[in-house]
Amino acid sequence: MNGNGITKEENTILTENFYALSKKQKYSYTVSLTSCGLYLQKNFNGSTKTDLIRASDIIGCKCMRNNGKSNECICRPVKNSNTSSHQVRIPYNEAFDCSAYLCVYAYILKNIATKNEKRDKMIVTLRFRNYNNYEDNLKIAINWKYEINSLIRTRNEDRIIVTPANNQCLSDRLLVIVNPKSGVGKGREIFQRRVAPVLVMADIDFELHITCMQNDARNLVRTSNIYEWGRGIVVLGGDGLMFEVINGLMERSDWQRAFEYLTLAIIPGGSGNGLAKSIGYETNEPYMQDPIIISTLNVVGGNSRPMDLVRVETLSQVVYSFLSVGWGFIADIDIESERLRILGNPRFTIWSIARLIGLKTYRARLSYSKVKNVEAKVSNFTKNSFFDCKDINDDDETVSVEFGMDPVSLEEFDFRERVESFSSVISKRSAFMSIHESSSFTSIPDIIEESDIRMRGPAPKIPPLSEPVPLDWEILEEEFVMIHASYLSHISEDLILAPNSKLNDGVIWLLIVKSGISRASFLQFLLALSTGNHLSFPYVQMIPVNAFRLEPLSGGSHIVVDGELLKHSPLQAEIMPGVTNVYARQKH
């Protein structure tokens, strides 16, 4: 490693010296772009201090020009790094400012590995004034932009997407589906205020669809030309909205290609948010500090990974699930507490206590095919307990390192024509309306007749529900307090049912609580669900399986799949490994 922190293995792509002049201090910066990211080396009074903004934390950059509102000019790059004759204060004059600016946007980790780990927004503004005319300075800024984009985009442009019909390249647009009724009903506002600005910084072209009723999202993805959304589909809502999208896609005749090419994502706006939390947990991100930003960064980061789906078959229907199948206690509180929706997450807690007083048991036959060589017991589970700290900042903290003017006084310069401009997103109303108008049902290339709607998807390997289970399956027939199968770590932001579960481990984690457990133990068990230490109680068992069948032998409970109520019936479930892809950052 040399003095500026750059290792020998790193390839320096660009480097430039900048002067920052203020009344108190005179110092220079050496800014270098390497394969690892952007190094900012501050040279001050003979000493240096270097910060690295990692490439994986940079979300985008934009060329800007001065719009003349600022009246001070404090720095400019110089060609020769060791001459002080370039450190000249330039009086502001609109006609004179021929500089080109480059704003680099990043979300960097702060307080790493502490309780307060979080991501903060950082804007680095570089002012290029190497020449006395704007066009030449702009060329340099554009070159930096190009190189930064090449560095950060290599992670998401490794697949060329073609339409099934005519082999045309697809657009790079993202579809955002918002459920305005999710959670406490703030979906539109969250999108407008917190998500859209990040998408704009990352230069992601998007289309917005606000659902107007239940199954709107399902119909949209079933009947639209989804190949227009080459960047994928992100839902802003709860797990119920994602359930609609997955099942709508499974109803398409081209379901296989759709899942192969589309990357899905979720930004939590619901009251459960199991998928969003599980992704944050698996990628080791400080999710609870700011669930919206962390989830949005998954989308702009562009890294996707496979996720398992589970085919659930009842006597009357087949659905595809990504989260859980529940029966008994937790399923009952999930459904019965619906009336407490306005409270957001605490509704689960309040209802559990009410339910605990009259703890019920239910009889069932549970058959399953156990996965060998998977460790189900989790001992001394303490990992990342600080993620439960809920100290959410509502507004983005902007740490601005500027070698030039305040970015708000700059105007975006970009060769590409954009639907949504930088300024339109600041104005809540205009951006919202104009984007909304462009999303509609007008582009429907292959309308499927209502009568032909049926569930497709991968063929099951297990026998149908009408036939006996295979001979090598294990069978339990007894009274249960609950049976909850999950295939993600969390079924909600504060319930970690299957701590060892991964997005793509091919395992259904069957959590069962048998009759006989005391109320006191069961309460302890429920409380431990928020830390993942719930597996050491008597009558509690975790069984990793790849398929199971549940035949309720008494009524009174609910069957809940991904938080949605299904008609009470015998059911069976089978894991379909890696059927879909979701946006998720690389682990830091």
Applying CB under 6 A, which residues contact ligand ADP?
179-183, 211-214, 216, 237-241, 244, 270-272, 563-564
Residue 39 makes contact with Mg ion by CB under 5 A: no
Rounded Cα–Cα distance for residues 96 and 106 (Å): 30
Instruction: Please state the closest distance from residue 225 (CB atom) to ligand ADP, in A.
Output: 21
Closest by alpha carbon to 559, among 264, 334, 300, 237?
Answer: 334
The window from 36-44, 203-211, 497-505, 548-556 that contacts Mg ion (CB under 5 A) reads 497-505
- Sign of the dihedral through C-alpha 141, 144, 146, 149: negative
Distances (CA, A) of 212 to 175, 223, 241: 16, 16, 12
Ranked by CB distance to ligand ADP, the top (closest) residue is 238
Set 57, 120, 203, 239: catalytic member: 239
DSSP code, position 423? H
Residue among 129 and 311 whose Cβ is closer to Mg ion = 311
Would you say 198 or 507 has its CB closer to Mg ion? Answer: 507
Rank residues 340 and 465 by Cβ distance to ligand ADP and give the closer one.
Answer: 340
DSSP string, 89-124: PPPP-TTT---EEEEEEEEEEESTTSTT-EEEEEEE
Contact call for residue 203 and Mg ion (CB under 5 A): no
Alpha helices in 337-383 (DSSP H): 346-357
| 487 near Mg ion, rule: CB under 5 A | yes
Q: Where are the alpha helices (DSSP H) in 325-450?
A: 329-336, 346-357, 422-426, 428-438
Out of 16, 120, 505, 562, the residue judged to bind Mg ion by CB under 5 A: 505
Output 324 or 501, the one with its CB closest to Mg ion.
501
**CA nearest neighbour of 487 among 263, 232, 312:** 312
CB of 123 to ligand ADP, least distance (A): 32
Instruction: Write the single-letter amino acid at 218.
Output: R
**Minimal distance, residue 217 CB to ligand ADP, in Å:** 6
Q: Is the dihedral of CA 76, 79, 82, 83 positive or negative?
A: negative
- Here's the x/- map for Mg ion, 396-435, by CB under 5 A: it reads as ----------------------------------------
Tokens standing for 309?
């789906």
Cβ closest to ligand ADP, residue 183 vs residue 230: 183
Question: Rounded CA gap, 6 and 109, in Å?
Answer: 20
Q: Could you tell me whether strands 564-566 and 559-561 are parallel, antiparallel, or unpaired per DSSP bridges?
A: antiparallel
Work out what residue 268 binds among Mg ion, ligand ADP, none; the CB cut-off runs from 5 to 8 Å by kind: none
Q: Cβ distance 539 to 521 under 8 Å? A: yes
Question: Least Å distance between CB 334 and ligand ADP?
Answer: 9
187 vs 302, beta carbon nearer ligand ADP: 187
Q: Considering the complex, state which of residue 234 and residue 517 has its C-beta at the smaller distance from ligand ADP.
A: 234
* Tokens matching residue 12: 């320096």
Q: How far is the CB of 311 from ligand ADP (least distance, A)?
A: 20
489 binds Mg ion, rule: CB under 5 A = no
**Which among ligand ADP, Mg ion, none contacts residue 278 (Cβ within 5 to 8 A by kind)?**
none
Query: Quick one: what does residue 183 bind among ligand ADP, Mg ion, none, with the CB cut-off 5 to 8 Å set by partner type?
Result: ligand ADP
Strands across the sheet containing 58-66? 398-403, 118-128, 100-110, 58-66, 410-413
- What is the three-class DSSP state of 50? strand
Task: Tell me the residue type at 233.
Answer: I
Shortest Cβ distance from residue 236 to ligand ADP (Å)? 9
- Which residue is at the shortest CB distance from Mg ion? 487
Q: Which does residue 179 touch among ligand ADP, Mg ion, none (CB within 5 to 8 A, set by kind)?
A: ligand ADP
Among this protein's residues, is 239 annotated catalytic? Answer: yes
Backbone angles phi, psi at 264, to 5 degrees: -100, 160
Smallest distance, Mg ion to C-beta of residue 584, A:
13
**Does residue 559 contact residue 536 with C-beta atoms inside 8 Å?**
no
Catalytic residue positions, numbered: 239
Please report, as ranges, the residues that interact with Mg ion according to CB under 5 A: 308, 487, 501, 505
